[in-house]
Amino acid sequence: MIRLSPGFAINHRFQFNSQKSNFFPAQIASRRRNFSRIGSESGDGVAFDAVAYESERLSLDAAAMEDMAETARKELESESESDPDSDPKAWKWIIRKKMWDLMEARNYSMNPRPVHHRIPNFVGASAAARKLAELEAFRMATVVKVNPDSPQKQIRFLTLSGDKKLLTPQPRLRTGFFSVLELSLLKPETINEACTSVGVAKYGRAIGLDEKIKVDLIVIGSVAVNPQTGARLGKGEGFAELEYGMLRYMGAIDDSTSVVTTVHDCQLVDDIPLEKLAIHDVPVDIICTPTRVIFTNTPIPKPQGIYWDKLSPEKLQQIRILRELKKRLEKKTGVKLPTGPSEKLPPTAERKRR
């Protein structure tokens, strides 16, 4: 187990492309609408254009990354001079950045690289997935929710090939909400593709907030996790927490629904302070690494839904399904829900050109 706080140097070489963004917010919003249409046409009898879908997805990711690059660069430059206690999220970024640097420096990471600002793909991810598949919680599950990141691709494959329903979120919740995939609706030669973002859009059935579904197991990715407490850090965008909160709203999960993560052994840390965790942070019950399985017996309460007073206007504007849920709840209760403080959305990952 690694203590990151005292001094693994941050390597800025891997951090960001400082090129100024060529996209304006209105252009990005327009392209997101186009992306949504590309991803939904397959259900209308029109041939699904996988090349266009993937090209637009990567382009949007690159545009978002470039848009945040300058802000992120300034943040890194001023970080050493600032007081971490002045920003309630600063301590999380310190741990994340040191972990990303550690994994790159020691070559524990796998493509896509660099791993900064993403759930890092790691050496031994398939071995960790096999350990997860041996869990009773997985073997007994009928519906498994799995995050869409690279290190959990094998888990998505094992879920489908095990004839379980796979529930996976659409990329950054851009095109909607969740998609459901089932083995019975796939050909054997399409199972591998169905485990990718293109395959989810191509073969998945999009669901909405009114879907009646019971999720038996949740798998989420992590940047760092404490095996003693189950405290977890993601990549900083908050999607795992938002997805969890919306599933609580739907009645698809409850406190008894196990949350599992797969990580490299180096991602086990002992310096995630419980007292600094936010009410919406999702703890994990089980950790699977390439070498072991850890039951955390986490003392951390699980979130009960969406905490609107913590949700920034920027994040709300970014995710249509959240705006839909907020409008629905306000109409039902006749009460305007609060909005959290404004925030700088974190930078997205750099993807090397092929």
Give all domains of the chain, ordered by start, each with its CATH number.
1-354 (3.40.50.10420)
For 237, phi then psi, to 5°, come to: -90, -15
Element (H, E) at 288: strand 286-288
* Close Cβ partners of 108 (under 8 Å, ≥ 6 residues apart): 102, 122, 123, 264, 266
Neighbours of 200 (CB within 10 A): 25
Instruction: Report the alpha-carbon distance of residue 339 to residue 313 in Å, rounded.
Output: 7
Collect contacts of 183-187 with beta carbons under 8 A, ≥24 apart.
186/160
Strand order in the sheet with 205-207: 205-207, 178-181, 165-169, 143-146, 217-220, 258-262, 286-288, 293-295
Closest CA to 217 of 279, 165, 154: 165
Residues facing 260 on adjacent strands: 219, 286
Residues facing 287 on adjacent strands: 261, 294
**Token couple for 174:** 């851009």
Instruction: Report the alpha-carbon distance of residue 170 to residue 19 in Å, rounded.
Output: 28
The answer to whether the CB of 349 falls within 8 A of the CB of 343 is: no
**Cα angle, residue 352 at apex, residues 348 and 354 outer, rounded to 5°:** 140
The one-digit pLDDT tens for each residue of the chain (354 residues) are: 766 644 443 333 333 333 333 444 444 444 444 554 554 444 455 677 777 777 776 676 655 545 433 434 445 455 555 555 556 778 998 999 999 999 999 999 999 999 998 999 999 999 999 999 999 999 999 999 999 999 999 999 999 999 999 999 987 676 679 999 999 999 999 999 999 999 999 999 999 999 999 999 999 999 999 999 999 999 988 899 999 999 999 999 999 999 999 999 999 999 999 999 999 999 999 999 999 999 999 999 999 999 999 999 998 988 999 999 999 999 999 999 999 999 877 666 665 544
The tens digit of pLDDT for each residue in 262-299 reads: 999 999 999 999 999 999 999 999 999 999 999 999 99
* Close Cβ partners of 155 (under 8 Å, ≥ 6 residues apart): 129, 132, 133, 144, 146, 219, 262
Which pLDDT value is given to residue 56?
A: 73
CA 43 to chain centroid: 25
Which pLDDT value is given to residue 210?
A: 95
Which pLDDT value is given to residue 313?
A: 94
Which pLDDT value is given to residue 66?
A: 53
Q: What sign does the dihedral 73-79-81-85 (CA atoms) show? A: positive
The tens digit of pLDDT for each residue in 83-99 reads: 555 567 789 989 999 99
Instruction: Report the alpha-carbon distance of residue 270 to residue 321 in Å, rounded.
Output: 35
Which pLDDT value is given to residue 186?
A: 97
Type of residue found at 144: V
DSSP one-letter code for 81: T
pTM of whole model > 0.75? yes
The answer to whether the CB of 238 falls within 8 A of the CB of 195 is: no
Closest CA to 169 of 142, 149, 154, 193: 149
Give strand ranges (E) for 182-242.
205-207, 217-220, 224-225, 232-233
Instruction: Report the alpha-carbon distance of residue 282 to residue 96 in Å, rounded.
Output: 16
